[in-house]
Homo-oligomer: A and B are copies of this chain.
Amino acid sequence: MKIALAQLNYHIGNFDLNTDHIIRHISLAREKGADLVVFAELAVCGYPPRDFLDYSQFLTHCEAAAQKIAKHCTDMACIIGLPIKNEVVKGKDLYNAAYFIENGAVKAVVKKALLPTYDVFDEYRYFEPFNEFQCIDFKGKRIALTICEDLWNINDNPLYVSCPMDELIKQSPDVMINIAASPFNYRHDEDRIQVLSGNAKNYKLPLFYVNQVGAQTEIIFDGGSLVFDEEGALKAEMKYFEEDLQVFDLDEIQNVKNKYPLLERASDISQIHDGLILGIRDYFRKSGFTKAVLGLSGGIDSAVVCALACRALGAENVMAVLMPSKYSSDHSVKDALDLVKNIGCQHEIIEIKAAAAAFDGMMANAFGGLPFNLTEENIQARCRGIVVMAMSNKFGYILLNTSNKSECAVGYGTLYGDMCGAIGVIGDVYKTQVFELARYLNKDGEIIPENTIVKPPSAELRPDQKDSDSLPEYDILDQVLFRHIEQQQDSNQIIAAGFDEALVKRILKMVNAAEFKRYQTPPILRVSPKAFGMGRRMPIVGKYMD
Tell me whether A50 and B538 are in contact (CB under 8 A): yes
Residues A385 and B387 in contact, CB atoms below 8 Å apart? no
Enumerate chain B residues within 8 angstroms of A390, measured Cβ to Cβ. Answer: 359, 363, 375, 378-379
Instruction: Flag if A216 contacts B52 (CB, 8 Å).
Output: no
* A545 touching B389, Cβ below 8 Å: no
Residues of B within 8 A of A373 (CB): 393-394
- Answer whether residue A93 sits at the interface, using C-beta atoms and an 8 A cutoff: yes
CA distance A13 to B512 in the complex (A): 12
**Measured between alpha carbons, how far is A389 from B11 in the docked complex, in Å?**
38
1/0 per residue, CB under 8 A from B, across A18-49: the answer is: 00000000000000000000000000001011
Chain B residues positioned under 8 Å from A383 (CB to CB): 386
Q: Could you tell me the distance in whole angstroms from the C-beta of A47 to the nearest C-beta in chain B?
A: 10
Q: Which of A329-337, A441-449, A519-527 contacts B (4 or more CB under 8 A)?
A: A519-527
Q: Which among A351, A387, A541 has the greatest number of chain B C-beta atoms within 10 A?
A: A541
Copies per complex of this chain? 2
- A158 near B91 (CB under 8 angstroms)? yes
Known: A539-B52, A544-B52. A366 touches B378 (CB 8 A): no
Distance in angstroms between the alpha carbons of A491 and B118 in the assembled complex: 32
Given known contacts A389-B382, A492-B57, A92 and B159 CB-to-CB distance under 8 angstroms? yes
List of B residues within 8 angstroms of A91 by Cβ: 158-161
Residues in B whose Cβ lies below 8 Å from that of A469 = none
Select one of B51, B391, B522, B534 contacting A536, CB under 8 A. Answer: B51
A374 partner, pick from B12, B374, B378, B393, beta carbons under 8 A:
B393
Q: For A490, give its contact among B56, B357, B389, B490 (CB under 8 Å).
A: B56
Q: Determine if A192 is an interface residue (Cβ-Cβ < 8 Å).
A: no
Q: Which of B51, B351, B541 sits near A283, CB closer than 8 Å?
A: B541
Task: Identify which of residues 388-434 in chain A touch chain B, using a CB-to-CB cut-off of 8 Å.
Answer: 389-391, 393-394, 415-416, 420, 422
Q: Cβ of A537 and Cβ of B13 under 8 Å apart?
A: no
- A residues adjacent to B (C-beta < 8 A): 11-15, 46, 48-52, 54-58, 61, 89-93, 115, 117-118, 122, 124-125, 128, 156-161, 216-217, 282-283, 286-287, 348, 350-352, 354-355, 357-359, 361-363, 365-367, 370, 373-375, 378-379, 382-383, 385-387, 389-391, 393-394, 415-416, 420, 422, 488, 490-493, 516, 519-523, 534, 536-545
18 other A-B residue contacts (CB within 8 Å) besides A12-B541, A350-B362, A350-B365: A49-B542, A50-B539, A55-B488, A55-B490, A89-B156, A90-B158, A91-B160, A91-B161, A118-B125, A122-B125, A217-B539, A217-B542, A287-B540, A355-B358, A355-B362, A363-B394, A367-B394, A519-B523
